[in-house]
Structure 1
């Protein structure tokens, strides 16, 4: 799943061609130059379009950053939900969450790198309220899974607000190290070890 495939999947059709091109060029510039250093004029030059066209689609640079960030989150959530839908047990669900996270980062490293860098800007910027609203809609299936009647006991009685950090935390740490070049092996190689570690971190004492 390359960048182009992700954009074709999220914004299909000829009418969205310019939008996809802006996204591709902006993503590259944000990752190479940094979000703060990248200007709308730099993106315009790469896209061979007008500043007005970019503003028409996204409003301003903050809007473009947020749109890229939301696109990444939506695509990641779709993969997560497809994995979670196939999980028939709580343990399988934990594995599904870790596997989907790792597999998405492995297949979309440029999007994942941008997502990590942009998170602070979006959560503290003018689109923070929209992010909250989108997250509630995006995580509906996940929250249903977490809220299942027997889930709390099987996950060691952990509070819901802590569970996701325990499940994803180790995988996220390794993925960040891989994206920054601190480790060389793809996180996908270790997906089962990371999922097993997540499950053990949640296991009641008599099951660990």
Structure 2
């Protein structure tokens, strides 16, 4: 009896999170003719997470999705194409949620909060895809889809900068390298989400979204003040 009570919630949660992953694919591939494509991607996601990238084969994905090797190659060319398609689907869905949050921002601090909230909420709602992204990012950077991924990341950063640069108080952050800004903003949230996905912590990331957003804002302001102090020192030396 104890054993059954231990297993059922886990199985139920897994089914729920995979259902959320299927909904993500339906948002990105809503056409009826994309049904097989969605099925292949959904079952490939399950295989990759359960067996790993190296062990998972086209034949395993074929059997789970009840499709054919020909259909898989037609849609994705090869296993690397399936991995890339899943990565891009996750990034596109993540970007869509981020833009929704950013569009509601009314201040620079709101923008920082929007970046944190959208990231944390997406990971919380899509743990299967979030786990996959952590595993797959390096793989895509090593194959023929590297350039596409780089362009997506570049576009993401440009859109974020377009939002933050609307506000005059961003001037105080302009001396901070953009890569350092992004690390300060998302670093703590990413670290906690990784721990949650690997079951090292229990509380859902959403429980701490406000604290994570405030911490990111405080970090930026603290670093900005340090840069201002350095600039003043340099100005004094020049005089």
Partner of 2:15: none
Instruction: Give the TM-score normalised by the residue count of structure 1.
Output: 0.93
CA deviations over 1:84-138 (Å, ceiling 9, x no partner): 1111111010000000000000000000000010000011221101112233344
Q: Is the 8 A contact 1:156 1:202 kept in 2?
A: no
Partner of 1:125: 143
Shift of 1:167: 0.3
Partner of 2:57: 39
CA distance in 1, matches of 2:157, 2:171: 21
Tell me whether 1:26 sits opposite 2:44 in the alignment. yes
Instruction: Give the TM-score normalised by the residue count of structure 2.
Output: 0.81
Alignment of 1:165-204 (within 5 A): 165-203=183-221, 204=224
Partner of 2:75: 57
Shift of 1:145: 1.9
CA distance in 1, matches of 2:29, 2:103: 24
CA distance in 2, matches of 1:149, 1:170: 24
- Unaligned runs of 5+ residues in structure 2 are 1-18, 227-239
CA distance in 1, matches of 2:188, 2:135: 18
- C-alpha RMSD of the superposition: 1.7
Q: How many residues align?
A: 206
Shift of 1:21: 0.3
Which of structure 1's runs of 4+ aligned residues deviate more than 2 A? 133-141, 146-157
CA distance in 1, matches of 2:101, 2:189: 16
* Aligned match for 1:106, one of 124, 129, 135: 124
- Unaligned runs of 5+ residues in structure 1 are none
Shift of 1:142: 1.3
Partner of 1:135: 153
Compared with structure 1, are the counterparts of its residues 54 and 83 closer, same or farther at alpha carbon in structure 2 (3 Å cutoff)?
same
Tell which has more relative contact order, 1 or 2 (C-alpha 8 A, sep 6+). 1
Compared with structure 1, are the counterparts of its residues 96 and 199 closer, same or farther at alpha carbon in structure 2 (3 Å cutoff)?
same
Select the structure of larger CA radius of gyration.
2
CA distance in 2, matches of 1:52, 1:6: 25
CA distance in 2, matches of 1:151, 1:127: 38
CA distance in 2, matches of 1:143, 1:113: 27
CA deviations over 1:13-46 (Å, ceiling 9, x no partner): 2100000000110001111111111111100000
Shift of 1:191: 0.4
